[in-house]
Amino acid sequence: MIIKRLTVGPIMANCYIVGCEKTRDAAVIDPGAEAHRIIETLEEASLNAVVILNTHGHFDHVGANRAVKEKTGAPLAIHSLDAPLLKVVVDSAAAWGLSAEPSPAPDRLLADNDTIDVGSMTFTVIHTPGHSPGGIALLADGYVFVGDTLFAGSIGRADFPGGDYGTLIRSIKDRLFSLPDDIRVMPGHNEPSTIGHERRFNPFLNEG
């Protein structure tokens, strides 16, 4: 597995390019902004984007959907409950005093336990609502791309429309913390971690 992490946009969201070493096919996870950097990274790594995956529909994670899709032709996928957020990307960014390009409609609506094949890799969808209704994590080959559900030493906000704190905590404890300790956590902001480290030391979730 080839993983390229790009921190993009004014809110410094993580966009991940995850490629198959055998086929050079790749998934682009959360292209939030700076499409030119995402495209350049794909080209420099000789990777072919075959799918765009949104972990959730907030503007800082989807703002480059259109440009990346137009350049690569890759289909766009998001959980069905967050698909409506793609229709209000411009307004959502404006509420923060920022701008974003409108997103195209999704080509595929995802649900819990769906799988997405990319070359020899398979991503499994884990529905993790709480930060947003249709937030998901994507599990593949020892890594879990968690969007804004879980961070190194922190958790996602639950005060946005459609968010719920209790639901967020349950998503983390019931769904993400059921994974093995050595699974690498690839969050939507800041640095990676592991499930085991967060289970033991995250102050919002510490289980002792």
Which residue, among 1, 8, 41, 23, has the nearest Cα to 143 in the 3D structure? Answer: 1
> pLDDT tens digit string along 98-124?
988 999 999 999 999 999 999 999 999
Q: How confident is the model at residue 207 (pLDDT cuts 50, 70, 90)?
A: low
Give residue 161's pLDDT: 87
Which residue, among 93, 118, 114, 117, has the nearest Cα to 103 in the 3D structure? Answer: 93
> What are the residue boundaries of the structural domains of the chain, listed by start?
2-201
Full-model pTM: 0.96
3-state secondary structure of 111: coil
pLDDT at 208 over 80: no
H/E run at residue 35: helix 35-44
Contact criterion met (CB below 8 Å) for 139 and 121: no
Q: How confident is the model at residue 164 (pLDDT cuts 50, 70, 90)?
A: very high
What number is the average pLDDT over the span 196-201? 96
Alpha-carbon distance of 2 to 8, in angstroms, equals: 19
What number is the average pLDDT over the span 70-84? 98
Beta-sheet pairing, 136-140 with 121-127: antiparallel
**Which class is domain 2-201?**
alpha beta
Taking each helix axis from N to C terminus, what angle separates 65-72 and 35-44, rounded to the nearest 10 degrees?
Answer: 40
Mean pLDDT of the chain: 96
> pLDDT tens digit string along 8-47?
999 999 999 999 999 999 999 999 999 999 999 999 999 9
Helices (H), 54-174: 59-62, 65-72, 89-94, 165-170
Alpha-carbon distance of 93 to 126, in angstroms, equals: 26
Give residue 206's pLDDT: 77
> pLDDT tens digit string along 174-198?
999 999 999 999 999 999 999 999 9
pLDDT at 7 over 70: yes
